């Protein structure tokens, strides 16, 4: 069982260690659909003595020596998810799953043709995941979930029953951004289901299967769709042609979407211009100040302003500016570019300024 503990521990460790200054590709509500293959580790089971009274077995061995087990064929799975992606790369989602595998009942290492049935499962899980950007359009996701697994077992010889068991899972996957709202996903799930028990009356006898814990491995390909398109950021007003006698540009403005701190392509363009100016002018220091509009509390806006200035700093460092020469701060909604009342979504107030000194 150590490999199972190691797998869950690795997922948790990656989720914590991977926390770095990066912005989520998609934010807000999303839905997903997936389909693929499902494998179940072979498992042993126990049954009552009445089983041998009813079953017509051509095995001349006492029941205690038959070592009963279930061997599962490769099956298939389909899953659907509904979730919410936060600004800090964390996601929480609900998941509904369907899995089906053929199963052979094995006695004493021998398969009995009369006992060839199937296991059908429906799962309901709550998952928490963390997305780790690997490239411009590629992300790694790690996470874990808990929930319940409803299973129906048919042994192919007249026995049919169902059970509900506690389940937990570890998740790892890759997602590739096809459009600004649609991702292609490849996901692996390790699902652990606490030992289910089934009982049924066949003929004159009551039979029972008591399984060990089930270990399931599911690999799926799917699509994840962002339900709400991220608000387009405001373009910075075009600067007039510089006059020959004007001083070099000392301030640059980066705009953000509502309640966002991620850098858009337009924002990255402004940061590249600021970095080039800093190198050309030989700026001794750079001050980045984050600002917000008047929607939300002062405490929340102060934190959002700091995230915006931090994102701009990371962009400048990526353009070759030394991190030690950059100071960041946040003003929240205290210094509005456009004066408004409280709770007003003014695009030009959602900004960060880059000041070259």
Q: So what's the pLDDT on residue 159?
A: 81
SS3 of the chain: helix, strand, coil, percent, to 5: 20, 50, 35
pTM over 0.75: no
- Express each pLDDT in 348-357 by its tens digit: 999 999 998 8
- Express each pLDDT in 240-279 by its tens digit: 776 665 566 688 999 999 999 999 999 999 999 999 988 8
CA–CA distance from 265 to each of 117, 129, 323 (Å)?
A: 56, 26, 21
Helical residues (DSSP H) of the chain, grouped into ranges: 2-17, 50-54, 265-281, 298-318
Q: What angle do CA 216, 94, 35 make, to 5 degrees?
A: 50
pLDDT at 219 > cutoff 50: yes
The residue that leads in pLDDT, 113 or 60, is 113
pLDDT at 10 > cutoff 70: no
Q: Are 37 and 60 in contact (CB under 8 A)?
A: no
pLDDT at 54 > cutoff 90: no
Q: So what's the pLDDT on residue 30?
A: 96
* Nearest alpha-carbon partner for 221 in 258, 175, 259, 179: 175
The residue that leads in pLDDT, 234 or 81, is 81
Q: So what's the pLDDT on residue 70?
A: 83
Across the range 138-149, mean pLDDT stands at 96
Q: So what's the pLDDT on residue 158?
A: 79
3-state secondary structure of 179: coil
Across the range 180-207, mean pLDDT stands at 85
* Nearest alpha-carbon partner for 165 in 264, 65, 43: 43
Candidate from 10-24, 99-113, 284-298, 316-330 with smallest mean pLDDT: 10-24
Q: Are strands 286-291 and 205-211 parallel, antiparallel or unpaired?
A: unpaired
* Residue 244: HSE in the Cβ half-sphere, 13 Å Cα cutoff: 0
- The band of 83, judged by pLDDT with boundaries at 50, 70 and 90, is very high
Across the range 68-95, mean pLDDT stands at 93
Q: So what's the pLDDT on residue 14?
A: 47
- The band of 103, judged by pLDDT with boundaries at 50, 70 and 90, is confident
Q: So what's the pLDDT on residue 91?
A: 95
- The band of 64, judged by pLDDT with boundaries at 50, 70 and 90, is very low
The mean of the pLDDT values for the chain is 83
- The band of 184, judged by pLDDT with boundaries at 50, 70 and 90, is very high
Q: So what's the pLDDT on residue 238?
A: 72
Percentage of residues in the chain with pLDDT exceeding 70? 79
Domains and CATH numbers, the chain: 7-226 (2.40.160.20), 251-356 (3.30.1330.60)
Q: So what's the pLDDT on residue 211?
A: 84
Strand partners, 65: none
Q: So what's the pLDDT on residue 109?
A: 61
Percentage of residues in the chain with pLDDT exceeding 90? 55
């Amino acid at each position: 069982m150590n490999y199972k503990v190691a797998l869950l521990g690795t997922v948790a460790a990656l989720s914590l260690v991977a926390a770095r200054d990066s912005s989520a590709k998609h934010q807000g509500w999303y839905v997903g659909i997936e389909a693929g293959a499902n494998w179940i580790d072979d498992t042993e089971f126990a049954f009552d003595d009445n089983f041998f009274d009813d079953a017509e077995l051509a095995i001349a061995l006492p029941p205690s020596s038959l070592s009963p087990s279930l061997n599962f064929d490769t099956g298939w799975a389909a899953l659907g998810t509904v979730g919410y992606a936060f600004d800090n790369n964390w996601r929480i989602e609900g998941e509904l799953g369907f899995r089906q595998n053929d199963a052979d009942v094995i006695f004493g290492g021998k398969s009995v043709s009369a006992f060839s049935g199937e296991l059908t499962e429906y799962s309901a899980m709550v998952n928490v995941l963390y997305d780790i950007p690997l490239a411009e359009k590629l992300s790694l996701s790690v996470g874990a979930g808990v929930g319940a697994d409803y299973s129906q077992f048919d042994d192919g010889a007249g026995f049919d029953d169902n059970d509900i068991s506690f389940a937990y899972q570890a998740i790892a996957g890759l997602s590739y951004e096809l459009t600004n709202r649609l991702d292609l996903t490849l996901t692996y799930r390790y699902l652990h289901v606490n030992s289910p028990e089934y009982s049924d009356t066949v003929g004159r006898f009551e039979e029972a299967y008591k399984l060990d814990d089930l270990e399931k491995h599911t690999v799926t390909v799917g699509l994840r769709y962002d339900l709400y398109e991220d608000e387009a950021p405001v373009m910075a007003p075009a600067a007039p042609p510089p006059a020959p006698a004007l001083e070099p540009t000392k301030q640059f403005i980066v705009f953000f979407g509502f309640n966002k701190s991620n850098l858009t392509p337009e924002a990255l363009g402004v940061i590249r211009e600021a970095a080039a100016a800093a190198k050309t002018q030989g700026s001794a220091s750079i001050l980045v100040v984050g600002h917000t509009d008047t929607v939300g509390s002062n405490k929340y806006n102060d934190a959002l302003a700091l995230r915006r200035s931090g994102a701009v700093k990371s962009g400048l460092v990526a353009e070759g500016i030394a991190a030690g020469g950059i100071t960041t701060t946040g003003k929240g909604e205290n210094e509005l570019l456009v004066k408004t009342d409280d709770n007003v979504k003014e695009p030009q107030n959602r900004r960060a300024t880059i000041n070259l000194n």
